[in-house]
Amino acid sequence: MRKIRIGTRKSRLACIQAQMVADYIETHCEGYEAELVTVMTTGDRILSKRLDEIGGKGLFVKELDTFLLEGYTDLSVHSLKDMPMEIAPNIPIIGYSAREDARDVLVLPEGTTEYEYGGPIGCSSNRRSLQLKKIYPNAELQTIRGNVLTRLEKLDGGEYGALVLAAAGLKRLGLEGRISRYFTTKEMVPAAGQGILCIQGRAEEDYGFLQGFFDEKAKECAIAERAYIAYLNGGCSCPIGVYAEHLDEKWMRVRGLYYNDETGEYGKMCISGDRSQAEGLGVSLAQELKRNVDWIF
């Protein structure tokens, strides 16, 4: 029996997501068993500052990368939206899960049904803040850090009047009932990779036993979205969003949000094309938005 040690962050959501892979291994991979190895990352320890102030998304993966490289774990499970664009070639992404709901959502304090501007809206990214200013132009927006459960405690404790969170995380935590409003992917373009899990492994290892867990459509969406971000050099602090979806068995659509930090102009646009050209679609959309951001919303 070969034991597969799965590296994950310590939060409840991260462990639930890693357990999805562990459950697949236990039930579908004869001759294998799985064990979770939890790791406290720098991004989880430093909660008093925005991510762009302390080093960006890489702070959620650095320690997990070390465990994987040094052989303490056999693979890592990440939320794809937390993955930096540059990934070491010796620990590549080896596959992607089927996508959960990619939308952002509004969450209100328990017992309320409408946002009444009684407190700031807590959100964790410039991407969300930029788009919220159009949806709720009179609202105060305030940064919030910490895992989902910590944020909900602060909301219910009266520190915030509402939160914007990812639907995927709430659903995986069994907290779908806390969702008060779903934002469409047009009014609130998600973060690249939102709702998708990625599995990272060592380049020389054989992970063929996981092929049944991987999802080809999610992979194509991930490729398109990350190509878009890579072309625009979008970091954690840059208000850039992108969402790819399949229209049918041949075509996919990619929608993007682009912000020019030199001019303060931003815009949204979508393009459609053959899903086999996912990377090219992401790049083409980035080129068009960057070229026309001054007149597109």
CA torsion angle 18 252 171 191 (round to 10): 80
What is the reported pLDDT for 189? 98
To 10 degrees, what angle do helices 12-28 and 148-156 make? 140
Contacts for 9 with CB less than 8 Å, ≥ 6 apart: 15, 38, 39, 40, 41, 44, 60, 64
pLDDT digit string, tens, across residues 110-145:
989 899 888 999 998 999 999 999 999 999 999 998
Q: Catalogue all structural domains in the chain, each as residue range(s) with its CATH number.
A: 2-97+196-214 (3.40.190.10), 104-182 (3.40.190.10), 227-292 (3.30.160.40)
Contacts for 155 with CB less than 8 Å, ≥ 6 apart: 107, 108, 109, 122, 162, 163
Q: Do 86 and 29 meet the contact criterion of CB atoms below 8 Å apart? A: no
Which residues have a catalytic role annotated? 82
Burial label for 16, CB within 10 Å (0-12, 13-18, 19+), is middle
> Which amino acid, residue 29?
C
Residues of the chain with pLDDT under 50: 46-49, 51, 53-55, 297
